[in-house]
Amino acid sequence: MAMRLEVKAGIRDCTLINDSYNSDLNSLDIALHFMNRRPEREGKSKTLILSDIQQTGVPPMMFYTHLAQMIEQQGVEQLVAIGPVISAHAHCFENLQARCSFFPNTESFLQSPLFGSLRNQLILIKGARSFCFEQISDLLEQKVHETILEVNLSAIEQNLNYYRSFLKPETKMVCMVKADGYGAGAIEVAKILQDHRVDYLAVAVADEGVALRNAGITANIIIMNPEMSTFHTLFEYNLEPEVYSFRLLDALVHAAKKECVTNFPIHIKLDTGMHRMGFDPLKDMPTLVERLKQQNAVIPRSVFSHFVGSDNDDFDSFSARQYELFLKGSQQLQAAFHHQILRHMCNSAGIEHFPERQMEMVRLGLGLYGINSRNNQLINNVCTLRTTILQIHDVPAGDSVGYSRRTFMERDSRIASIPIGYADGLDRLLGRGNGYCLVNGQKARYVGNICMDVCMIDVTDIPCQEGDSVLIFGEELSPSVLAEIIDTIPYEILTGISNRVKRVYYQE
Ligand SMILES: *Cc1c(COP(=O)(O)O)cnc(C)c1O
């Protein structure tokens, strides 16, 4: 059954989990598990606000006793029970560790000192519709910037499974959570991936890895671009570096020896045609093998390279050459060691296009976030960027809109202002009529120059009013479409959404 769990920042350092689904024991169990997996739970106590549950068939005594056990097992520290029936069964909750408070209705809870004193809690709000718990969440929710990025965690799972379907059961997977999980939020995404036991996570720099560790991520993490200054951090937080040059290798070995680190896993990058980073598989292998063999500070855990054009059939013969070159280089490395060194080359497009080149491991990036880079189609859409109409102006024909008078209206127009600008990651190139968003399902073009925090859209032909929702991108308007308009790639659209845009996570 569909359910929707939303995580929102609350007032007084609370975090809210809203469950809009009608309540029953099964969905409560799922919601409590969800709560226990939240990275935000660190240092917060867990509160459950729960209404009467309209159960079927089971005698209330038995039902509420069972409910009390569930609450105990899930480590809820405070129960706020609202409704005449649950209050009448208060005795079922007598032996709980949790502090329990009972209220006959929502209103009496909102008036109580307890409501005003909720602070630094992770609060699961779950009530039958008739109890109007949205009043509770409205009052507890922190109202900030009205532009939000909604992230569908279930879609991430579905995309993971979609790409797994191309793989042999034993093939391992690295999931890329660099650039804050392609904009979706690295910590939340990593948590989901860790639950699904992916073999590796990968980020660009050590700080990103530290942030994951501090959020409780224990999975293996690869650092793609380790800076020389962060070696100590790598060892301390168990972050495995990519090594692409002799200079980097020597410095890393030197640092590891100084700290008496041994057998630290590293990932050897070969340059097979990208000409970005990597050892030369034709020239460097003998020296690389020799340098690796004469020390025991680090040990090659994997060897990999990167296709330059797995998303496009035009490059198939070049990809084949890259693959041959990689096999040659990686073979020389493997021959020098007794342990297996994992080989990997496929990114998302490669997994789909060259499943026969999956070797022992693959690296999933964009596809996880719902976009197929081979055809720019959505797989399962993950990120939806929404905002709302702040104000609507009637602008007569001949007037201009926005800075520098770049757009003059050719007809009498209705122009809506929306609180998103280039500082939020809305590319300025979309302005002046180049791009559009959707208002009530219809295309509304950006008018004039996009400003820093706000922009204007033409809603002349669209029935709408102030406060209406605006879709910047999502299921109905893919980031790929916006990317094409401004001659970039969906990666840049997704990773460009700035930090001040609030992320709201939900599961279906
Ligand atoms: C980002 C990255 C990937 C993932 O690529 P996608 O096209 O997003 O799947 C794979 N390998 C390396 C080395 C990367 O930097």
Q: With contact defined as beta carbons under 8 Å apart, do 51 and 131 qualify?
A: yes
What residue's CA is closest to ligand 1, atom 15? 224
Query: What is the tens place of the pLDDT at every residue in 263-293?
Result: 999 999 999 999 999 999 999 999 999 999 9
321 CA distance to ligand 1 centroid (A)?
19
Query: Looking at residue 5, what is its pLDDT?
Result: 82
pLDDT, tens digit (0-9, with 9 covering 90-100), for 124-157: 999 888 898 988 988 888 765 589 999 999 999 9
Could you read off the pLDDT of 380-417 as tens digits, one per residue? 999 999 999 999 999 999 999 999 999 999 999 999 99
Dist. CA 366 → ligand 1 center (Å): 8
- State whether the beta carbon of 306 lies less than 6 angstroms from ligand 1: yes
DSSP classification of residue 219: S
Q: Of all atoms in ligand 1, which is nearest to the CA of residue 491?
A: 8
pLDDT per residue over 107-131, tens digit each? 999 988 899 888 889 999 998 888 9
Per the structure block, which two tokens stand in for 97?
């560790």
The pLDDT value recorded for residue 13 is 84
Which residues, listed in sequence order, are joined to residue 15 by a DSSP beta bridge?
9, 122
Q: How confident is the model at residue 8 (pLDDT cuts 50, 70, 90)?
A: confident
pLDDT score for 1: 44
CB 506 within 8 A of CB 150: yes
Pair of tokens at residue 400: 């201009």
CB distance 269 to 244 below 8 Å: yes
Q: Residue 108 and residue 82: Cα distance in Å, rounded? A: 9
Least confident of 27-36, 355-364, 395-404: 27-36
Of ligand 1's atoms, which has the minimum distance to the CA of residue 311?
A: 7
Task: Give 253 Cα–ligand 1 centroid separation in angstroms.
Answer: 26
- As a whole number, mean pLDDT of residues 246-260 equals 97
Q: Which residues are catalytic?
A: 178, 403
Segment among 74-78, 109-113, 188-192, 355-359 with least mean pLDDT: 109-113
For a mutational test of ligand 1's pocket, the pick from 347, 489, 495, i.e. the residue with the most ligand atoms closer than 8 A to its C-beta, is: 347
Q: Are strands 436-439 and 383-388 parallel, antiparallel or unpaired?
A: unpaired
Burial label, 43 (beta-carbon count in 10 A; 0-12, 13-18, 19+): exposed
Q: What is the mean pLDDT of residues 37-45?
A: 80
Residue 23 Cβ inside 6 Å of ligand 1? The answer reads no
CB < 8 Å & 24+ apart, contacts of 392-395:
392/416, 392/417, 392/459, 392/464, 392/465, 392/466, 393/417
Average pLDDT value over all residues in the chain:
93
CA of 372 to the centre of ligand 1 (A): 13
The predicted structure's pLDDT at residue 289:
98
| CA-atom Rg of the chain in angstroms | 27
Instruction: Please report the pLDDT score of residue 372 as a whole number.
Output: 96
Picking from 3, 107, 89, the residue whose alpha carbon sits closest to that of residue 53 is 89
CA distance 384 to 193: 20
Residue 38 banded pLDDT, cuts 50, 70, 90: confident
Select the more confidently predicted residue: 37 or 176: 176
- Burial (0-12, 13-18, 19+ Cβ within 10 Å), 225: middle
pLDDT confidence bin for 20, thresholds 50/70/90: low
Task: Supply the DSSP symbol for 428.
Answer: G
Given a contact cutoff of 8 angstroms between Cβ atoms, the answer to whether 45 and 120 are in contact is yes
Residue 480 Cβ < 6 Å to ligand 1: no
The average pLDDT across 458-468 equals: 94
Please give the distance of CA 139 from its chain centroid, rounded to a whole number: 27
Buried b (16+ CB within 10 A) or exposed e, 397-414: eeeebbeeeebebeeebb
Q: What is the pTM of this model?
A: 0.78
Q: How far apart are the first and last CA of the chain?
A: 9
**pLDDT the model gives residue 144:** 54
Q: Which residue has the higher pLDDT, 323 or 142?
A: 323
For 298-320, what is each residue's pLDDT tens digit?
A: 999 999 999 999 999 999 999 99
Which pair of tokens denotes residue 254? 């030197």
252: pLDDT strictly greater than 90:
yes
CA distance 330 to 322: 12
Beta bridge partners of residue 134, listed in sequence order: none
Domains and CATH numbers, the chain: 5-143 (3.90.190.20), 153-369 (3.20.20.10), 383-507 (2.40.37.10)
